[in-house]
């Protein structure tokens, strides 16, 4: 005790010195020897002092820095992944700690947040949607078909009793994309449960309903004249990278991941241009295919859809998927 007190005596010229001495003596004064009034008086005579609040702030600040540094050392491999890195940036912004030391465990891709969006119990939700698969170490090498077969998506595709996606579904689905792919994404302004042309062209042209033998489908909500715009995918479809696609598949419960894979396609947006991966976050994605379609884009580079003939109210809206060739090998998913 004498040794410590001597170091705070104004008469002694012993280390520590300067700010370190003020910190050291403040710590003694506020934390270590607060009860001994004689010692307090002695220490107060030592000159400058920090308040208890400042000391606590310094203590927590340095602990947080040390912890974030250790987290970065243990999980620095996470910065090799492009999709979670975007989420890391968000984590870093919230915690105000350097990006280089943020780990992707802050945004857990295996986190089950279904209960935030669906009122039922986790057990019920898992029965309805399946479980979220743990993301394997080699997830960045998984192909479209690896995911499709591991998630048993053929079974899901043939299940014709899949529920119509409601608002809670779309909110959860969109939130997952924001959480694991792009927190800054701005979805289009039309509610995801509604059909639209996006050009203010009258009443919504379609609604979602079960289509016997095809799962869910789209049906005309009014008569649509030949040549009328049925849907403007150019304005609402979302493009993503192969790792964005994988991040989504591994963050969704199994059956939703299968929907996501059914709802993804490859497309060139200009002649000779690269193939890109697209999906949509609204009911337009439920449009089924036919060899005798009533709705098509004007070219394979566009996803603005027009009526090929007059379509009667409640008739199914059908396109021909062949217009967009599936080329997983050209987008890094084979």
Ligand X SMILES: C[S@@+](CC[C@H](N)C(=O)[O-])C[C@H]1O[C@@H](n2cnc3c(N)ncnc32)[C@H](O)[C@@H]1O
Q: By CB under 6 A, name the one of 153, 249, 257, 286 that touches ligand X.
A: 286
Letters for 252-281 (x = contact with ligand X by CB under 6 A, - = none) are -------x--xx------------------
For residues 160 and 267, is the Cβ–Cβ distance under 8 A?
Answer: no
Segment lying near ligand X (by CB under 6 A), choices 93-101, 143-151, 172-180, 286-294? 286-294
For ligand X, the closer CB: 133 or 156: 156
Question: Interface residues for ligand X in 124-143 (CB under 6 A)?
Answer: none
Question: Token pair of 307, please?
Answer: 């009526």
Judged by CB, which is closer to ligand X: 6, or 239? 239
Q: 295 is written with which tokens?
A: 């709705």
- Cα gap 249→244, rounded to integer Å: 9
The distance of closest approach from Cβ of residue 274 to ligand X in the complex, given in angstroms and rounded to an integer, is 22
| Alpha-carbon gap, residue 322 to 265, rounded angstroms | 11
Please say which residue, 250 or 260, places its beta carbon nearer to ligand X: 260
> What's the rounded Cα separation, in Å, for the pair 182 and 194?
23
What is the size of the binding site for ligand X (CB under 6 A)? 15
Cβ closest to ligand X, residue 61 vs residue 163: 163
Report if residue 289 touches ligand X, rule: CB under 6 A: yes
User: In the bound complex, what is the minimum distance in angstroms from residue 227's beta carbon to ligand X?
Assistant: 24
Which string of b and e fits 137-168 if b means at least 16 CB within 10 Å? Answer: eebbebebebbbeebebeebeeeeeeeebeee
Closest to ligand X by CB, 40 vs 128, is 128
Looking at the Cβ atoms of 30 and 279, the one nearer to ligand X is 279
> Of 253, 257, 239, nearest to 147 (Cα)?
257
CB of 206 to ligand X, least distance (A): 13
Is the CB of residue 280 less than 8 Å from the CB of residue 237?
Answer: yes
Strand-pair category, 288-289 with 265-268: unpaired
The one among 157, 190, 198, 308 contacting ligand X by CB under 6 A: 157
Output the smallest distance, CB 217 to ligand X, in A: 6
CA 167 to the chain's CA centroid:
18
Q: How far is CA 210 from CA 96, 107, 196, 240, in A?
A: 48, 35, 19, 28
State the minimum distance, in angstroms, from the CB of residue 265 to ligand X.
Answer: 8
Shortest Å distance, C-beta 220 to ligand X: 16
Build a one-symbol-per-residue string for 194-233: x at contacts with ligand X by CB under 6 A, - elsewhere: -------------------xxxxx----------------
Return the closest-CA partner of residue 205 out of 187, 227, 186: 227
Binding site for ligand X (CB under 6 A): 157, 162, 213-217, 259, 262-263, 285-286, 288-290
């Amino acid at each position: 005790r004498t040794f410590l007190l001597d170091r705070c005596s104004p008469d002694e010229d012993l280390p520590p010195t300067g700010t370190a001495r003020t910190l050291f003596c403040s710590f003694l004064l506020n934390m270590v020897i607060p009860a001994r009034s004689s010692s307090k008086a002695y220490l107060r005579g030592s000159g400058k002092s920090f308040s208890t609040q400042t000391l606590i702030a310094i203590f927590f600040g340095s602990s947080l820095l040390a912890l974030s540094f250790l987290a970065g050392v243990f999980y620095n491999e996470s910065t090799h992944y492009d999709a979670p890195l975007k989420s890391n940036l968000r984590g870093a912004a919230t915690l105000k700690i350097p990006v280089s030391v943020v780990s992707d465990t802050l945004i857990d891709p295996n986190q089950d947040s279904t209960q935030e969006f669906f009122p039922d119990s986790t057990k019920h939700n898992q029965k309805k949607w399946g479980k979220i698969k743990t993301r394997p170490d080699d997830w960045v090498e998984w192909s479209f078909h690896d995911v499709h077969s591991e998630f048993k998506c053929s079974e899901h595709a043939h299940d014709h009793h899949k529920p119509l996606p409601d608002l809670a579904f779309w909110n959860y689905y969109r939130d997952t994309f924001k959480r694991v792919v792009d927190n800054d994404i701005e979805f289009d302004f039309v509610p995801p449960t509604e059909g639209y042309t996006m050009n203010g062209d009258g009443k919504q042209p379609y609604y979602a309903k079960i289509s016997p033998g095809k799962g869910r489908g789209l049906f005309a909500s009014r008569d649509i004249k030949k040549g009328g715009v049925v849907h403007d995918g150019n304005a609402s479809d979302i493009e993503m990278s192969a790792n964005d696609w994988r991040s989504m598949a591994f963050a969704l419960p199994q059956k939703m991941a299968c929907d996501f894979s059914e709802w993804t396609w490859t497309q060139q947006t200009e002649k000779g241009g690269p193939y890109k991966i697209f999906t949509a976050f609204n009911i337009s994605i439920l449009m089924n295919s036919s060899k005798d379609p009533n709705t098509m884009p004007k070219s394979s580079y566009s996803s603005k859809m027009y009526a090929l003939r007059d379509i009667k109210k409640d008739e199914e809206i059908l396109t021909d998927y062949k217009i967009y060739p599936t080329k997983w090998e050209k987008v890094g998913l084979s």
